Chain A
Amino acid sequence: MEQTKNNKILIIEKLKKYFNIGKGKQGFIYVRAVDEVNIDINYGETLGLVGESGSGKSTIAYTVVGMYHPTSGKIIFKGENIGKEASKRRLSSKKEIQIVFQDPGSSLNPKQTIEQILSLPYKIHTNLNKKQYQEKIIELLEKVELSPEYLYKLPPSIGGGEKQMVAIARALAPNPSLVVLDEPTSALDVSVQAKIINKLIDLQREMNLTYLFITHDLSLMRNVANRIAIMYLGKICEVAEAITFFEKPLHPYTQMLISSVPVISEEEEHLKPKKVISIGEIPSPVNIPSGCSFHLRCPYKKDVCSKIDPEMIEVSPGHMVRCHLFYS
C-alpha cells in the first residue's frame, strides 16, 4: 500500500454499476445508476453523500456492503479489493462493514423478537455461547439507550425511533469499523431524528467508527458530516469539507440544492447563495444527457457543456468540483 493512502479506510475507484433493464433496438438498455465514481473515506470521519432520489446514492451504499456486484471498478477496503458480492467476500471483511437501512419498519423482521434479531450477528461472526452473547446483547441495548425489557418485544409494538435504534444496534453488534447509514432518519420526525443523530455521533466517538452517511437532507449533513459529496445522475459533482461546502458552494447544482433548503432563521437565510431558481427535474438514468449531465437545468450553461463531460478538478485543497465553469 502506498503511504499516501494509509489514512483511507475505503477507496472507491471508477466504480460503475449498470442495471440491465431489457433489450431495445440497439442492444441492451441499461440504467446507469453509478457511473465512474471516485470517493475515498478517511478513518474515523463521516462522509455525507447527498443527492436527489434517482441519483444513485443508495446504489453506492449497496455496492459497498456487497448487495450488488459492481459492473466495473474497485472498492478497496483497508487495502483489499472487495468489489464483489457479499457471498464471495471473506467473512472477516463482511463483519467490518455494516449497514443501517432507511425504513426500520421493513428492515426488521416483524415476527422476530428484538433478542432474536440481535443474536444473529453474534451467531455468525463470533464463537460466543448463548449465555455470553445474551450478556452482549444487553450491553448493546444499553449503548443505544434501550432497557433490557425490550429484549422480548416485537418490532411492530415499539416506536419508529426505537426500531431504528434496534437496527443501529444490530449493525454495531459485530463490532464493525465502517457503517453505511442509508437515510437512517428520513422516515422519522425531527425530534426523534435529533436523538438518533446525537446517539450516532456519540457511538462514533466511543467505538471509532467511520460513517458513510447517505441522505437527501443537506442541513442535517452540515451538522453531522466532516466532508460532503454531492451526487447527480450517478456522478459526483462536488466534494468538499462541510464548512467550505456551505460557505463557498461552487457547482451550480450545489447552489441550487442549498438555496432550496427551507430554513428557520435569518442567519441561515444569509448563508444561502443568491437564489439559483430550481428548474426542471432530474432526467432518467436510462437517457443521460450528453456532455455534462446537469446542463439541462443549469442557469450558467455554456456551449461546451452540452458536448463535453467535464472532469473532476481540485479548485482548492480538498475541494473538488466537476464543472466547466471552473476550468482555467
Chain B
Amino acid sequence: MDKRILLDIKNLFVWYKVFGGYFKVLNGVNLVVKEGERVGLVGEAGCGKTTTMKSILRILPPGDFKIPEGEIFYKGKDILRMNSKEVQNLRSREIAMIFQDPTAALNPVFTIGSQLGDVVRHADIFKGSRHQKEIKDNSIKALKEVYLPDPERMLVNYPFQLSGGMRQRVCIAMSISSPRNLLIADEPGTSLDVTIQDQIHRLLNEIVDKRNTAIILITHSLGVAREMTDRIYVMYAGTIVEVATPEILFKNPVHPYTKGLLASVPKISGGGIANGIPGKLPNYLNPPSGCRFQPRCECVNPTCIEKPPQLYEIEKNHLVACHLTQR
C-alpha cells in the first residue's frame, strides 16, 4: 500500500444526449490506478468501458454528453475541472491512449514519420527548440523500441503500406515516444490475429515493466486480462460489479454476472460451454431500477429492485457490488 495513487475515478456518471432524453451510460464508476500498476477493465460490448476511458482524456463527443456527477483525480487534480491548457498538457505528456483499430487511429494521408514527429514535438516541454533531426532521432528510437524492422524506411511509409500488427506497433510507438505515467490501451489486440495479438501484448508488458508505467487495459476477453494485469475491474452496464486480483477472480468469482461470463468462455481443456447469460444489456434510456443486472440475474430478491448495490470488500483485494453477498 506504499504506492501512490495515480488516477482515482470517483462515482462517475456520464450521460449521452439522444432523441427523447439521455442515455444514462455510466452509473457511478469507481476506479483506482496506482503508480506502475496494471489494471484490467473487462466487460462486454456497450457496457461503457470506452466511455470511461474517453472521459479520462476528455475526448467524449463535444456537446452530446453530460457529466451530472463524479470526479476524476489525476495526481490529486480533478481532470473534469481543468482548463484547456492543462488538458492539453495532460494528453501530450502524462496520459497516452492506444486505440482498438490502428487503421482508424492513423491518418491515411500522412506518413508515419510526420504523424510520429507531431507527437514527439508536442511532448517536448520546450516547444520549438528542437531540430528536425532530433525529432527524427526520437521517432526512430521509439520505432526501434517496438521492434519495427527498418525504422528509417518506416518513417516515409504511409499507414496503408503496413500490416495491421505493424500499424498497432506504430500506435504504441507514438504513445511511448515520450515518458508517460499512464497508458490506456483500448483493446489493443482485438482487431488482430491471435499470434499477432500475443506479440502486441508481450510488447506492452515489456514496455510497462521497463518504464514502470501504469496501464489500464480495456478488453472484453477475460483470458487477456488474466495474463496481462494485476487487478481486474469487471464492468456491466456502466457499473463496476467486481474488483479482484486475477488469482481471486478466476478461482472465486462472486457476482452472478462474473460467474456467467466466466462460464461462457470456451476453454481449451474442453468440457463444453455453459448456456451464456439470458437476456441482453438494458436500454440506457430507461435503465432498470436498483441493480442494473437485476433483470438478467437468476437469484434476484426484492432489495435488488429497490436500490443499487455499492462496492464493498468481502475479502482482501476483492470488492463486489451485489446485495446477495451483503450481510
Contacts and interface: CB of A to CB of B under 8 A. Distances in A.
A262 B276 contact: no
A260 B195 contact: yes
Interface of B: 44-45, 163, 165-166, 193-199, 220-224, 226-227, 250, 260-277, 280
Contacts of A260: 194-195, 197-198
Contacts of A116: none
B66 to A, nearest CB: 26
B45 A222 contact: no
B194 A52 contact: yes
A242 B270 CA distance: 9
A189 B273 contact: no
A149 interface: no
A271 B250 CA distance: 17
A21 B250 CA distance: 49
Nearest to A159: B280
Interface string A223-256: 1100000000000000000110010000000001
A191 B44 contact: yes
Given A191-B260, A262-B226, A219 B266 contact: yes
Most central of A52, A216, A281 by chain B CB within 10 Å: A281
A261 B268 contact: yes
A76 interface: no
A109 interface: no
B276 to A, nearest CB: 4
Given A189-B45, A223-B271, 10 more contacts: A189-B44, A190-B222, A194-B263, A219-B266, A222-B268, A222-B270, A223-B273, A271-B268, A281-B163, A282-B193
A92 interface: no
Contacts of B195: 52, 256-257, 260, 278
A223 B266 CA distance: 7
Nearest to B264: A194
A243 B44 contact: no
Contacts, number: 119
Contacts of A263: 223, 226-227, 267-268
A197 B196 CA distance: 26
A223 B270 contact: yes
Nearest to B194: A260
Given A191-B277, A198-B273, A264 B193 contact: no
Interface in A174-216: 189-195, 197-198, 216
A192 B274 CA distance: 11
24 contacts: A52-B193, A190-B265, A191-B276, A194-B264, A194-B274, A194-B276, A198-B275, A218-B194, A219-B265, A219-B267, A220-B266, A222-B266, A222-B270, A223-B272, A246-B270, A260-B197, A262-B224, A263-B223, A264-B222, A265-B267, A278-B196, A278-B198, A278-B199, A281-B196
Contacts of B270: 222-223, 242-243, 246
Nearest to B263: A194
A13 interface: no
A283 to B, nearest CB: 10
Given A53-B193, A219-B267, A279-B199, A264 B250 contact: yes
Contacts of A193: 264, 276
Contacts of B224: 262
Contacts of B266: 194, 197, 217, 219-220, 222-224
Given A219-B267, A264-B226, A197 B273 contact: yes
A197 B275 CA distance: 9
A110 B223 CA distance: 35
Contacts of B193: 52-53, 216, 282
Contacts of B220: 189-190
A258 interface: yes
Interface in A30-46: none
Contacts of A190: 44, 220-222, 261, 264-265, 276
